[in-house]
Amino acid sequence: VGQNLSIGQGCDYKAIIEHEILHALGFYHEQSRTDRDDYVNIWWDEILPGFEHNFNTYDDTFITDLNTPYDYESLMHYEPFSFNKNDSAPTITA
Residue pair 76/28 in contact by the 8 Å Cβ criterion = yes
Q: Can 20 be counted among the known catalytic residues?
A: yes
Residue list, annotated binding site for Zn(2+): 19, 23, 29
Q: Which listed residue (20, 30, 52, 73) is catalytic?
A: 20
Rounded-to-integer distance, Cα 83 and Cα 54, Å: 9
Binding site, by residue number, is: 19, 23, 29
Question: What is the H or E stretch that residue 42 is in?
Answer: strand 41-42
The catalytic residues are 20
